[in-house]
Amino acid sequence: RNNIRIADFGMASLQVGDSLLETSCGSPHYACPEVIRGEKYDGRKADVWSCGVILFALLVGALPFDDDNLRQLLEKVKRGVFHMPHFIPPDCQSLLRGMIEVDAARRLTRWQE
């Protein structure tokens, strides 16, 4: 009740326990840096990144990382540097920065508040 759910199972993978995933999937605009770099990754942390990108797009009306050139887009995602508009409330900015965090170890988890 009162929960928003966004789902797309076009490329879904079951992650068991603490195992890491290897399948490179996702749209470049929404894929986390570790997926872009071709590294093994924690699917839960990758999902938090993607949800952060979706939340940013809903609030701002634009993606945090965009470029007509795919190579440049991928570099932007790997660097994780994006412009936070001034009209985003500070609490929301903090949430977005925690979700769209390049360092997966520092990225928010779904259990954090």
Question: Rg for the chain (alpha carbons), in Å?
Answer: 14
Topology of domain 33-99 in CATH is Transferase(Phosphotransferase); domain 1 (1.10.510)
Domain segments of the chain as ranges? 33-99
For the cut 70, the answer to whether the pLDDT of residue 10 exceeds it is no
**What's the pLDDT tens digit per position in 46-96?**
989 999 999 999 999 999 999 999 999 999 999 999 999 999 999 999 999
Share of the chain above pLDDT 70, in %: 82
For the cut 70, the answer to whether the pLDDT of residue 112 exceeds it is no
**8 Å CB contact between 100 and 64:** yes
Helix axes 90-99, 43-60, angle to 10 degrees: 140
Instruction: Report, as an integer, the average pLDDT of 40-49.
Output: 90
3-class SS at 41? strand
Q: How confident is the model at residue 23 (pLDDT cuts 50, 70, 90)?
A: confident
For the cut 80, the answer to whether the pLDDT of residue 6 exceeds it is no
Please work out, in degrees rounded to the nearest 5, the angle formed at the alpha carbon of residue 98 by the alpha carbons of 96 and 102.
Answer: 105
The answer to whether the predicted template modeling score (pTM) of the entire model surpasses 0.95 is: no
CB-based burial, 87-108: b 16+ in 10 Å, e otherwise: eeeeeeeebbeebbbeebeebb
